[in-house]
Structure 1
Amino acid sequence: MTITQLRTFLTVAETSSFTKAGDILHMTQPAVSRAISSLEADLGVTLLIRDRKNGILLTDIGRRMLIHIRDIMIGIEKLEQEAAAEKGLEIGTIRIGSFPTASAFFLPKIISRIEHRFPQLEIELHEGTINEVKKWLASREIDIGIITEPSFEFETIPLYNDKMIALLREDHPLCHKPIICIQDLNDEPLIICKGGNEIPIIDIFEKTETSMNIKFVVHNTGALLNMIQEGLGVAILSELSLITTPPHIVTRELDPMVRREILLAAPSLTECSLAVQLFIRTAQELFCHKEEP
């Protein structure tokens, strides 16, 4: 088997199309088909099924092989990066996965600095839920991810402690208090926003033995804010998630202070490519010293 065969299979699997893979790899469709057939012959297994209704499908062994082939291609890219670094060049691709709040706050500054210093590096962005980022890390679709809360599946590095605040409608009885104790929210109707906000909230209610009355669970900040404006409940939200405070909503500090930990995650930090190591160093330079007091 050859690197070309492995790269072709990986591209077909990720695009679900021989034609798209050929365009990306600058190969004709027959050449793509030959590369896949040769790889299957070398391995003695069928990796792909051509289905008229559903297009290109991976077989069970094809899905398992895909993870190993991604690892092989990452290893080859690391070799190429090491050789380039020896010649004073910085090349390679950084595949980053992030949830929307982190994408908006961290990635523009990190990418801008990397592109300014090393314009030859390519950066691929994958945005989704935190669970999707973890799934992409496990399948090696991305090299580095931004997640919340430590995970035993991956190696992590702390990036930022995101303070959480209370949000209330301006006529709520608790608005007269400059700082809201968690116990003040005992049995208050809560609106919870998924996406990494919920875990530290549940933890602090348990630690303070406060009764948690979850009335609504939403998946975006806009819905949460509109519900507060309609008087449907109060919320606790991370500061990074709140770009601006809408009319008729007030924010208050919490006691005890609640934070959610944002981390960089990778399958193995010691085996990261030089390009990924550069991303990690840049992120730390920009954000590790900027945590809220």
Structure 2
Amino acid sequence: MNFSQLQCLVALVETGSFTEAAYTLDLTQSTVSHALAALESELGVTLLERNRKGVAALTPAGQKIIPRVRALLAQAEAIEQEAQALRGEVSGKLRLGTVHALYPEMLASVLMRFRALYPEIEVVLFEGTMQEVSEWLGNSVIDVGFVFHSACGIESTLITTDELCVVVPTGHRLHAENAVSPGKLRGEELIMEKAGCASQLMEMGSFEMGKARLHVRYQASDSATIVAMVREGLGITLLPRTMLPRKLEGVLALPLNPPQDVPIGLAVRQRSTASPGAQLFVQVALTWTQEQAASLRET
């Protein structure tokens, strides 16, 4: 068993295709196929199988092994980056997890600064829900990711805060309210993310499901779908303000009373073993947000 074989396995899992995996690794398709076959032969188990559509998918044995493979490769990458740092070099790969529609301007600005400071570090973006980002961290799919700070059981560095809003359709009984207290939402039906930290958002909004008589009626995969469902009068939702469209049509975003902040952090699997690239990205993001906050205070 060698690192090349493990890299081929991970590439196959991420792309679902021998052709795409070969392209990603700059290898021939036959090389990738032989690497997988050799790895499976050595381990004595089948790790991947092709489904009816020809897509390579993990077997039950592969699902058990892949988190350890990812963790091993991540540590190997961290070791290489540490050695390069000792030689005064900064290079390697950084896998960053982010949430759809969450702070796109901030992400773009931080990435621009990070690239300017550390051009030899290749950043690979993974987009998903908060819950997916948390799972990717735990399974070593990514090196660093945006999460709800101090939520979902993950240690993180606070980067910024957002405002939690109640989103209701135009003409809703609360549409004229300047701010909404949890008690005024008694009996309302919620539309929340299918795979997100919905319970953390509820806690941030000081909602107690039993007392407020709230329940999740529908679940959707992204914020755009959720807002569209609210517009159609299927329920209301709780979302950070930056995850809302710039132009609201058919819906209103109302602040909570008392106001509730959503703390956004950057998390790594374990600070003591995080790669230099991951640590540098957290520091660049933190410095950028601090500068933006200072600029706002001066204006």
TM-score by length of 2: 0.78
In structure 1, C-alpha distance between the alignment counterparts of 2:6 and 2:215, rounded to whole Å: 52
Alpha carbons 2:94, 2:277 under 8 Å: kept: yes
Deviation at 1:23, TM superposition (A): 2.6
Which amino acid in the other structure matches residue 89 of structure 2? L
Deviations 1:162-197 (A, max 9, x none): 21234456666655554433333334x455342456
Task: Determine which structure has more spread, i.e. the larger CA radius of gyration.
Answer: 1
Deviations 1:176-232 (A, max 9, x none): 554433333334x45534245664336523299544376665555445555666666
Which amino acid in the other structure matches residue 129 of structure 2? T
Partner of 1:205 in structure 2? 207
SS at match of 2:207: helix
Alpha carbons 1:163, 1:260 under 8 Å: kept: yes
Alignment of 1:253-264 (within 5 A): 253-264=255-266
In structure 2, C-alpha distance between the alignment counterparts of 1:262 and 1:116, rounded to whole Å: 24
Partner of 2:191 in structure 1? 192
**Unaligned 5+ residue runs, structure 1?**
none
SS at match of 2:101: helix
Alignment of 1:144-163 (within 5 A): 144-148=144-148, 150-152=151-153, 154-163=154-163
1:286 to 285, 288, 292: 288
Deviation at 1:146, TM superposition (A): 1.6
TM-score by length of 1: 0.80
SS at match of 1:23: helix
Alpha carbons 2:182, 2:207 under 8 Å: kept: yes
Alpha carbons 1:5, 1:36 under 8 Å: kept: yes
Say whether 1:93 aligns with 2:93: yes
Kindly tell me the number of residue pairs found equivalent between the two proteins: 291
Which amino acid in the other structure matches residue 8 of structure 2? T
**Unaligned 5+ residue runs, structure 2?**
none
Say whether 1:22 aligns with 2:22: yes
In structure 1, C-alpha distance between the alignment counterparts of 2:234 and 2:58, rounded to whole Å: 47
Partner of 1:114 in structure 2? 114
Deviation at 1:142, TM superposition (A): 1.3
Deviation at 1:61, TM superposition (A): 2.9
1:31–1:160 CA distance, 2 compared to 1 (3 A): same
In structure 2, C-alpha distance between the alignment counterparts of 1:215 and 1:36, rounded to whole Å: 44
Q: Which moved more, 1:232-241 or 1:132-141?
A: 232-241
Deviations 1:69-99 (A, max 9, x none): 2222212212221222233321111111222
Q: Percent identity?
A: 28
Say whether 1:132 aligns with 2:111: no
Deviation at 1:116, TM superposition (A): 1.2
Partner of 1:141 in structure 2? 141
Say whether 1:36 aligns with 2:36: yes
In structure 1, C-alpha distance between the alignment counterparts of 2:218 and 2:71, rounded to whole Å: 41
Alpha carbons 2:129, 2:222 under 8 Å: kept: no
Partner of 1:275 in structure 2? 277
Which amino acid in the other structure matches residue 257 of structure 1? P
Alpha carbons 2:144, 2:267 under 8 Å: kept: yes
SS at match of 1:164: strand
Alpha carbons 1:144, 1:264 under 8 Å: kept: yes
